[in-house]
Structure 1
């Protein structure tokens, strides 16, 4: 499906990443979350990798997190060709404070790849079913927290109950404002990008 004609809720392929194993890449499937006349907002259909939001027990926000660095560094380089990278827009990203626990969202950033915030996930994926996600076989091999139906936890960029936690989506699709410990390696990554059309 062409980006220019992709409707909200439809699926498209864009880029490629490790799917079955750490050696062979396959096209990445994305869900169209939003669109305007110039760009589409996409999120991966599956959880494409896993790892910490940030290592250790230090207070952290999205701006300084290793998750952000990995998404905009290794993942961006690995998943997209030079031509595809040219299509991915640099997005002004604001991360609000956690409204329940008043932990700090941190500085605004400009990112090519990002995780959704609490506010965005409520806007674009409004119910538990739409938020459920399963990992690729490659991601599943990394010993994730998973349910019997293979759904898994995935990171949001918002802070959790403490400054060393980050908000997450549980395998049931439930939004966790409390979140997970930022150093938890068993939570998956589900990137979002804005792509020119």
Structure 2
């Protein structure tokens, strides 16, 4: 389309097309299928053990495909010949999530700020974490469970900031129940 402006003729440029919701959902589904295909051999070979280890190590700061294995396990539990049942999967994931985060708390409580300085976490980031715990308290432990990065560090941060053990445990268990329920039972 052309139009006449004060500076002469101009050509209308079409507006960039944003990806449709259908395209975006298709890409997300493809990524999820790809991620599940990557962890499926672990699940087939090690079953509940793979879920326990991956979910557990996430709780004390090591990035692992715990959430992906939980989702893959829930999908596998729908089939009759997988050897996994949803009850065993949910219990395994819950115990791993709660124990892993508790170990993270202990590591943070013992290591303190020196631990973060050893891993070159600067003071600005630590202050952000402190403000988050000050503002949201134990609720941050529950919410963090649903976000990569936060899930891996929330227990360690709670320990470093000396959150009372029983407060941490209450919110840790609540977060683990909700997270496992959402990604395990919700997918099943």
Q: TM-score, normalised by structure 2?
A: 0.20
Greater strand share, structure number? 1
Q: Over alpha carbons, which structure has the higher Rg? A: 2
Greater helix share, structure number? 2
Q: TM-score, normalised by structure 1?
A: 0.20
